[in-house]
Amino acid sequence: MKRLSYILLPLLCALVVGVVECPAQTKKRGNEKELTPVDIKSRRTRPVPVADSTGYALTGDVVLYHNGAVITCDSVVRYSESQMSCFGNVIINKDDTFIYGDRAEYSRNEGEARVYSPLIKVRNKNATLYTYNLVFNTADNIGRFYGGGTFTNGENTMESERGYFYADLDEMVGVDNVEMKNATYEMRSDSVNYNSELEVAKYFTRSVTWKTDGEILASDEGEYHNRDQRYIFRDNAYVMGENQEMWADTVDYRELVQFIELKHNAQIRDEEHMSVIFGHYGNYDDNTGDTFLTKNPAYMSYGDSDGNGTGDTVYMRSDSMYVYLIDSLGYCTLTRPDSATLANELAAKAQAIIDKRVADSMAVVKAARDKFVADSLAEVKRVENEKLLDSLYTLRASFEAMEQLSDSLADISNRVNKRIYNIENPPVDSAAIKKALADSLEQVKMDSIAMATAAADTIPTKNTKDRIMLGLRNVKVFRTDFQGICDSMLMFSADSTAQLHRNTVMWNDINQIASERADVYTKQQKPYKVFFSEGKPIMSAEIDTTRYNQVAGKTIEAKFEDGVMYRTDIVGNAQTFYYMVDDADGALMGYLVAESSDMTFFIEDNTVDGIMYRGNPVYTIYPMDKIPESQPQRMEAFVWYADRKPTVEEIMGEWIVNPSERKRYTAMRRPQFPITYSIERHKESLLMGGGWADRDDDISDLAKDFIERVKDK
């Protein structure tokens, strides 16, 4: 018997080492997978009883190789061809993945290693996972962890209750209570897929991101590219800034250049300016505060209302909309140059402004002088005074916008005010007026250049309270007390004015005014004056479907109180076709045709209460049954545009105002990273106790040599 044992022992060792293992190489039929052998190497092997059968204990430089994965440990108990336990300093390695534990149960049939340790460590290239429970499949290189885990990749940290790592794809998937962070953001989600090679995090459930600059981002699906610092949000995306809230189906946020692109159902709420802008495509430049929206864009300024479209609200739409923030000199600034470059630019801009004002004013003077040949001296004085005042008022407005750059502006303003006073109380001859104009503009020009030069070391900052809004093509505006259409529109928040350009038509109650340009002046979002010019301004009011009151002139200025027109001044070649109505029964009493240099209509309760003519008026009143056929009842420029009068429904269309979510997101609990904190404390305790090591070691050279020999077989 003793001799027989000596003969059998080498055969048993050969079987355990796995040099020949025929049964394990048998192919399975049907859908069963082919089982490959587990190759094992050790210094010592001995049989051990296992229940009612016999297993084998292997000790000393133990190496297991299966499915291309290597397991090294201090000892192994092999219960059968399919089941074995590894003990002491366990390392599981496949390609770039290393798993460290104290013990592992390995199943050949499943190709799974279940790892045990007070704290399990997984290392893949420059990514590391710490967890309490781990199962790794050597066939597909997929691991799953549970009971909490924290994952780091460079400056990126992710924790979750459970998850998976895909070694071949360099991907980590966190599931349940996922929290992520790096130097620029923190995020909470229920599921995140993170690629450590590309440094891209993807998620498919509602996720919220807190940026270090205070912004909050959220969406139901999206991804974050760490290297490019780019957020791409899909499905119900939301962005909350200091004063803005944004919604869209898709948001592409390039943080490095501070540029946000919005696609489909985009909506931007600006709390500072109490407005909401809509569109199916848009972008926002956080460097400048500039916004662009198109594809059925709309705009709503809710003023003192509740922010949901009620109260004193202005609605607007156009084919494209732009919003520009204004710097301290009144320019829309896209870049911020150094102070020396800026000083030169400011001086050049100031010079250009003054040169243009001077040129324009001189052109006005020349035109007035030519007119003097044909008109009386009094008319020349009046025209020159008006033009001069307009120029000086414009200059004063320009310098008021630059007031913060220099205290010396007050002196300039005083001189301009003094000139305005002198013009309003003019000298007796037009030559003196012309000389005063030239002297005043020259002085203002010199002072402006000096002021720009003195600002050499002052870099103007973006004034978030001043902005310009531009609507291009097919502009429509609605407010309860007035409506309007035009080809393009400019709105200036600094002085609450608006300019409507080309094919402009505005309505106030029953009154319609058409011109090529309209300048609207407001107080507390209510118009108090509208100046119509260019083209052939004409104001109309419907008497019945065939008769219309009409007033025309070179310019028309309408004045309002609480949104109601109470006065209209027509200046230059004033004409009127007016049907006189009996207040008692509404019967038509006569037809007035009048012409004069200027006219003023006084209006009360939308009815003309009085008319003042200036400059040799000529008028005729016809009885209604005596109007000659040769007398037209409609002016050449008259068109009734009632069918184009916009409504709220037409402007807003499909758009529904999203209620503010600021309170909800501000109150949300930010990530606390409890799992990471707990694991870090646990790791410190283990290291201090000496019962665990934070390992990074590779498999031994003996193990590598054995693997090469097995591969060569």
Q: pLDDT tens-digit profile of 514-562?
A: 999 999 888 776 788 899 998 889 999 888 888 999 999 999 998 988 8
Separation CA 107–CA 138 (nearest Å): 10
pLDDT, residue 228, reads: 87
pLDDT value, residue 393: 58
Q: Element (H or E) spanning 277, and its range?
A: strand 275-285
Residues 511 and 614 placed together within one structural domain of the fold: yes
With tokens 């199962």, the residue in question is: 135
Same domain, 104 and 38: yes
Label residues 226-238 b or e (16+ Cβ within 10 Å = b): beeebbbbbeebb
Does 478 share its domain with 617?
yes
φ and ψ at residue 293, rounded to 5 degrees: -140, 140
Domain boundary among 60, 94, 117: 117
CA distance 239 to 266: 11
Q: Residue 366: which domain range?
A: 339-458
- Per DSSP, what are the bridge partners of residue 69? 66
**Which amino acid belongs to residue 641?**
Y
Task: Tell me what pLDDT residue 50 has.
Answer: 80
Q: Say whether pTM exceeds 0.75.
A: no
Same domain, 67 and 52: yes
Give the HSE-up count for residue 422: Cα atoms under 13 Å, Cβ half-sphere. Answer: 17
Does residue 94 contact residue 163 with C-beta atoms inside 8 Å? Answer: no
Distance (Å, whole) CA 557 – CA 571: 8
Answer with the one of 652, 669, 686 that is the final residue of a domain: 652
- Please tell me the predicted confidence (pLDDT) of residue 52: 79
The token pair at 5 is 């044992």
Query: Do residues 497 and 532 share a domain?
Result: yes
Looking at 438, 458, 478, the residue that finishes a domain is 458
* Helix boundaries (H) for 375-429: 377-401, 409-424
Do 476 and 450 reside in the same domain of the chain?
no
Say yes or no: 570 and 506 in one domain.
Answer: yes
Answer yes or no: is 194 within a domain: no
CATH number of the domain that residue 520 is part of: 2.60.450.10
Structure tokens at 650: 């037409």
Q: Specify the pLDDT at position 5.
A: 36
157 assigned to some structural domain: no
Residues 454 and 469 in one domain: no
Same domain, 534 and 472: yes
Spans in the chain with pLDDT lower than 70: 1-34, 303-311, 326-465, 525, 606, 713
Angle at 587 between CA 581 and CA 592, to 5 degrees: 40
* Structural domains counted in the chain: 3
| Residue 543 CA: distances (Å) to CA of 60, 461, 480, 510, 577 | 110, 54, 22, 9, 12
93 part of a folded domain: yes
**Domain presence at residue 371:** yes
**What's the confidence (pLDDT) of residue 231?**
92
Query: Are 343 and 440 within one domain?
Result: yes
Do 472 and 610 have their domain in common?
yes
Question: In this predicted structure, what is the pLDDT of residue 270?
Answer: 87
Rounded Cα–Cα distance for residues 38 and 139 (Å) = 12
Longest dimension (CA), the chain: 147
Q: Within a domain: residue 571?
A: yes
Is the CB of residue 702 less than 8 Å from the CB of residue 91? no
Helices 339-374 and 377-401: crossing angle in degrees, nearest 10, is: 170
Q: Are residues 476 and 612 in the same domain?
A: yes
Asked if the structure places residue 665 within a domain, the reply is no
Domain assignment present for 527: yes
**401 found inside a domain:** yes
